[in-house]
């Protein structure tokens, strides 16, 4: 009986010839990640351990990004805690305002995540790095503390679901539509504690930004991780961004999967997740048959969809158009580098001329932090990853998850729309 990609990576990190689903292992870590919300808790736990420093100052990344630039005194205190810890322990990969970005866009850009790595992060969307063929997963702050102290973590080896992607997406269909389609199909617990492994010739038609988006939202299906095979595009990305050596793992032909789904990308349509779960999906064609859904705000950004491809698509839709009267459209580039490149390409000018605003990199409104909180009864079309009750503000507000293309079109019309309508 063979092993999946994820199982091979975990076996190597545990120093074992093979592992099986359900097996408990202790694995060496290549990177431990924390942000301004989760790191202070982990730091306090480390203090209780009375350990002498961290296991490797080069293998820890601290990225204040959730309430940064600080929105209030409490968030400033959290960041001060992280800043002082990073200084005391001489953490190499600490990113202060001016060089920071949203963590899951920043770390691949900085070359800190590569194929074959085992990565834990005290943030549920740490699964993003599976786009590069790494095993990456979110953990609690206590596990983060143990990881920073010892360089190791305990895992239960996950079983896997295989998603065979074929065909080529049509215009205005992106990685966000792919993962929303999958979550709508299997549900928010359809991959509970399983590895979501993506294969098939359709992957060649997905950009790296598409793949990051799909892997990012594996957790929204309950997944332990999402992972893609390493092809020429992924290898080129790592060569461009990283100095690290990497290892390519491929699933065995006789690897065991709990289920297998084949998805023809050419048949997918722009998809929107209605309140209050990511699985509550409707295609744009289904939405056209409903009464118009007026909205108050659009957010284009986050660790899911704040990358350059996302901004380019949004700008393509908004070029020569204007945000609807009374509409708030907030664009948040995911990193400083993305912000700068968007400026050089004229994308920021397009956004501003269209009546949108552009923020410095931050998670901001995604988790109800700031930069776009919703009032009672307000609706938002957002390129973020969660639309739970009260996620972006008032418990009686609503969030509709969508791609940058749909979000930008909705900003123009003032209702949930597709660019094909403009």
Longest dimension (CA), the chain: 62
Q: From the first residue on, what is the mean pLDDT of each consecutive set of 10 residues in the chain (422 residues)?
A: 95 97 97 96 92 94 94 95 96 93 97 97 97 97 96 97 97 97 96 97 97 98 97 97 95 96 97 96 94 95 96 97 96 97 97 97 92 95 94 95 98 94 82
pLDDT tens digits, one per residue of 69-123: 999 999 999 999 999 999 999 999 999 999 989 999 999 999 999 999 999 999 9
pLDDT tens digits, one per residue of 40-84: 999 999 989 888 899 999 999 999 999 999 999 999 999 999 999
CA angle 132, 178, 421 (to 5 degrees): 130
Q: What are the structural domains, with CATH classification, of the chain?
A: 5-264 (3.30.499.10), 273-421 (3.30.499.10)
pTM score, two decimals?
0.95
Contacts of residue 138, defined as CB under 8 A and 6 or more positions apart, other chains included, come to 120, 121, 122, 123, 124, 125, 126, 127, 219
Q: What is the DSSP letter of 421?
A: G
Q: Is 22 helix (H, G, I), strand (E, B) or coil?
A: coil
Distance, CA of 9 to CA of 3 (rounded, Å)? 10
Nearest to 422 by CA among 171, 205, 213, 180: 171
Distance, CA of 171 to CA of 98 (rounded, Å)? 35
């Amino acid at each position: 009986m063979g092993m999946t990609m994820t199982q091979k990576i975990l076996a190597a990190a545990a120093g074992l010839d093979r592992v099986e689903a359900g097996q408990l292992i202790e694995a060496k870590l290549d990177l431990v990640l924390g942000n301004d919300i989760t790191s202070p808790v982990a730091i306090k736990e480390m203090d209780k351990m009375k350990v002498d420093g961290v296991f490797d100052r080069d293998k820890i990344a601290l990225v204040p990004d959730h309430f940064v630039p600080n929105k209030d005194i409490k968030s400033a205190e959290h960041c001060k805690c992280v800043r002082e810890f990073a200084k005391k322990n001489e953490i190499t990969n600490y990113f202060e305002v001016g060089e920071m970005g949203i963590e899951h866009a920043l770390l691949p850009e900085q070359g800190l995540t590569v194929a074959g790595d085992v990565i834990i992060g005290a943030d549920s969307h740490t699964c993003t790095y599976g786009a590069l063929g790494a095993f990456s997963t979110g953990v609690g702050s206590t596990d983060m503390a143990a990881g920073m102290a010892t360089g190791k973590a305990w895992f239960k080896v996950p079983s896997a679901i295989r998603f065979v992607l074929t065909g080529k997406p049509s215009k205005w269909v992106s990685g966000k539509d792919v993962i929303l389609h999958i979550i709508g199909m299997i549900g928010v617990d359809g991959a509970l504690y399983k590895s979501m492994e993506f294969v098939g010739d359709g992957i060649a038609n997905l950009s790296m930004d598409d793949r990051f988006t799909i892997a990012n939202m594996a957790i929204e299906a309950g997944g332990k991780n999402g992972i893609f095979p390493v092809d020429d595009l992924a290898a080129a990305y790592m060569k461009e961004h990283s100095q690290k050596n990497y290892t390519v793992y491929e699933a065995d032909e006789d690897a065991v999967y709990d289920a297998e789904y084949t998805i023809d990308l050419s048949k997918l349509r722009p998809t929107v997740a209605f309140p209050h779960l990511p699985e509550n999906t409707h295609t744009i064609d289904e939405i056209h048959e409903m009464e118009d859904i007026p909205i108050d705000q659009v957010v284009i950004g986050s660790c899911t969809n704040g990358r350059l491809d996302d901004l380019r698509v949004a700008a393509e839709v908004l070029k020569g158009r204007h945000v609807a009267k009374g509409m708030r459209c907030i664009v948040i580039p995911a990193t400083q580098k993305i912000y700068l490149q968007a400026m050089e390409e004229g994308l920021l000018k397009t956004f501003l001329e269209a009546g949108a605003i552009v923020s410095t990199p931050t998670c901001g409104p995604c988790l109800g932090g700031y930069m776009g909180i919703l009032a009672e009864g307000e609706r938002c079309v957002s390129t973020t990853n969660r639309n739970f009750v009260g996620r972006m503000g008032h418990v009686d507000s609503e969030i509709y998850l969508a791609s940058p293309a749909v979000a930008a079109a909705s900003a123009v019309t003032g209702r949930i729309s597709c660019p094909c309508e403009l």
